[in-house]
Structure 1
Amino acid sequence: MRNTLMVLALLCSASVFAADDGAKVAAKYNCLGCHSVEQKIVGPAYKEVAKRYKGQKDAEAMLMAEVRKGLPGGKWGQIPMPAQQIEEKDLRVIIRWVLAQ
């Protein structure tokens, strides 16, 4: 029982750490200038992105490719998203954080 509690405590603290990392890395690359967690700014709210892709196994890879290439207007609204130059490990942290919303 004690080991189970320790594992649960570690998992909880790891998810909080991952959430903090995602927000910090998104801020580092100015993602929060066009996106927020709760509401649309220029681009969609991260909760909407997570909702749209919930349960899709390829969502992480697809979103990473879209962020790297950019998006034309139409998928999330009229305003296109330019290609983003984000290190792969940082982009993975951001995408996982977005999908966890």
Structure 2
Amino acid sequence: MKRAVAGVLIVLTLGAAAGLSGPAAFAADAPRGQRIANANACMGCHAVDRKLVGPSFQQIAARYKGDAQAPARLARKVKEGGSGVWGMIPMPAHQSMSDADIRAVVDWVLAGAPSK
């Protein structure tokens, strides 16, 4: 048991030394949607606050704010992939993700991708 506690302290110490705090230093504190996005390579093309290959999650939230159809539309887009909405680079399909995980990510994104 002491080893597990020491390992956590090392991770937290390294995170603090790297300038990380809160959810970035300890991923278990991150919202479920963010943890799922991290685990499914979403962050390879999207960032919370800036465009990478695809739009930022905050840009997506702003575009679909107030759209009652957005959760279903975006869940379908994540599952099936697509292109043309944000440019010519296609988003690949994520058919191996469960519908519940997709919905958690979409809900988190539409909430503005909060860190807590």
TM category (shorter chain) comes to 0.7 to 0.9
Matched, 1:90 2:101: yes
Superposed displacement of residue 77, structure 1: 1.4
1:87/1:65 CA distance change after superposition, 3 Å? same
Structure-1-length-normalised TM-score: 0.77
Q: Which of 32, 39, 44 is residue 43 of structure 2 equivalent to?
A: 32
Structure-2-length-normalised TM-score: 0.68
Unaligned stretches of 5+ residues in structure 2: 1-27
2:77 counterpart residue number: 66
Matched, 1:79 2:89: yes
**Once superposed, what is the RMSD of the aligned Cα atoms?**
1.7
Superposed displacement of residue 39, structure 1: 0.5
Pair member with larger Rg: 2
After TM superposition, list the pairs within 5 Å mapping 1:14-25 onto structure 2. 20-25=31-36
State the AA in 2 paired with 1:37. V
CA–CA distance in structure 2, aligned partners of residues 92 and 70 of structure 1:
15
| Identical residues among aligned pairs (%) | 44
Count of aligned positions: 84
Superposed displacement of residue 19, structure 1: 5.8
Other structure's SS at 2:31 match: helix
Q: Give the number of the structure whose residues are more often helix, by fraction.
A: 1
CA–CA distance in structure 2, aligned partners of residues 36 and 21 of structure 1:
16
Once superposed, which parts of structure 1, at least 4 consecutive aligned residues long, lie more than 3 Å away?
none
1:19/1:56 CA distance change after superposition, 3 Å? farther
